[in-house]
Amino acid sequence: MKSDLVQAIDLLKNESLTLAAVRGEDIIRSKERGVKPLLGLIDGGVSLCGFSAADKVVGKAAAFIYVLLSPRCIHAGVISRPALDVLCEHGIEVSFDTLAESIRNRTNTGFCPMESAVMQTNDPDEALVLIREKLAEFAANK
C-alpha cells in the first residue's frame, strides 16, 4: 500500500493537479493556481490535519496557509527558501524537488506578488490578512 505522501505526489503528477492531499481514503484535488485552493480550504473550514499534501509551487504565502491548515507533511515541486523556513519553523515535514531563493510571478518579470505581500511577517494569521488584502487589490484593479 502506498503511503499517503507517495499517493499525493503521484496524483499531482499524473492528474496535472496543482494540489493533492491524501489521508487514507480521503483525497483532496485541485487544479486552481496560486493560493486559491488553499484559501478555499480555509474558507470551507477544512483542516488538513493528518493529511499528506503535494503542491506544485509553495511560496511563503502558501506556506503560511499550510501552517494554518496543519498537514502532517508537504512535498513541493518548487519551494522558496522563505517558505521552507516557515514550514520548518512550524514543525511541518517538508520534501521538495527544487529549492528556489524566491518564487517568480507568472510572467517571470519579478517576484510573486503573494510572496512579496507576506515577506515582512512571521505570523500566519497576519499573513492570511495580507494575502486577502493583496487579492482584493487585484480584484479591484481588474
Domain ranges of the chain: 4-140
The predicted-structure confidence for 31-74, as pLDDT tens digits, reads as follows 999 999 999 999 999 999 999 999 999 999 999 999 999 999 99
To which CATH superfamily is domain 4-140 assigned? Answer: Hypothetical protein TM1506 (3.40.140.30)
Cβ–Cβ < 8 Å for 103, 78: yes
pLDDT above 70: percentage of residues in the chain: 99
What average pLDDT is seen over the chain? 95
